[in-house]
Structure 1
Amino acid sequence: MLFYSMFKTLVGKEIAVELKNDVALTGTLHSIDQYLNIKLLDARVVDAARHPQLVAVSSVFVRGSVVRYVQLPAADVDAELLQDACRKASVKA
């Protein structure tokens, strides 16, 4: 739930998502659920020459299980809060 809570604070921000099939998308985070399924608005494919079928797509729903990486804007992530939460979670375990 820690990452879900962090992602909820980034709704409305620009993020990049790389999928396991090497497709990379950027867009505005519209919503995320507890399974880390992501909905992007104003989505753009990073390598349009390699994936021309995705050029016309404007909104995308990405299933959480196919996500390889999510790149977040560094200015919008509170690293200290995230580190403290991870420390507390490891002490409880």
Structure 2
Amino acid sequence: MTHFISHLWEWSIYCPVLETKGKYRVIIRRGYRVNMLFYSFFKSLVGKDVVVELKNDLSICGTLHSVDQYLNIKLTDISVTDPEKYPHMLSVKNCFIRGSVVRYVQLPADEVDTQLLQDAARKEAMQQKQ
């Protein structure tokens, strides 16, 4: 099943939320108001386990410690999904991830209120039209 957040017409973009294997994958597109929407969303998920997939195909599992307005992410208790490919990451326990290198963020399905997220995106789009 796939969930889509409403189009944010001012930028002619959309931010889909894809459900895969009981987890949601959020695809982030850039833009100040979009970032603030996702910043608020991710702040509500602090302390939850997430998987962050980077643009270099590295996937890091960990507990979301913090996120800032640039969507930089701090994870604690991390592990790498493919330790054979990235053995140098085995000794790392905490990390800071620059927001611009994030491709996807996978979230637990039971922690995501897609209706609330869609409503927030819709409201943001309406404010942009005015």
Give the TM-score of the pair, scaled to structure 2.
0.70
Whole-Å separation in 2 of the counterparts to 1:9 and 1:77: 10
Q: Tell me which of 23, 32, 35 is aligned to 2:70.
A: 35
1:89 Cα offset (Å):
1.2
The letter for the 2-side match of 1:16 is: V
- Name the structure 2 match of 1:60: 95
Q: SS of 1:83's equivalent?
A: helix
Deviations 1:27-86 (A, max 9, x none): 000000000000000000110000001011000100001101100111111111111111
The letter for the 2-side match of 1:85 is: A
1:87 Cα offset (Å):
0.9
Q: CA-atom RMSD, angstroms?
A: 0.6
Specify every segment of 5 or more residues in structure 2 that has no aligned partner in the other structure, as ranges. 1-35
Instruction: Name segments (4+ residues, structure 1) moved above 3 Å.
Output: none
Q: SS of 1:86's equivalent?
A: helix
Whole-Å separation in 1 of the counterparts to 2:113 and 2:43: 13
Percent of aligned positions with the same letter in both sequences?
61
The letter for the 2-side match of 1:28 is: T
Whole-Å separation in 1 of the counterparts to 2:73 and 2:127: 29
Superposed counterparts of 1:1-93, under 5 Å = 1-93=36-128
Whole-Å separation in 2 of the counterparts to 1:27 and 1:66: 17
How many residue pairs get aligned? The number is: 93
Give the TM-score of the pair, scaled to structure 1.
0.97
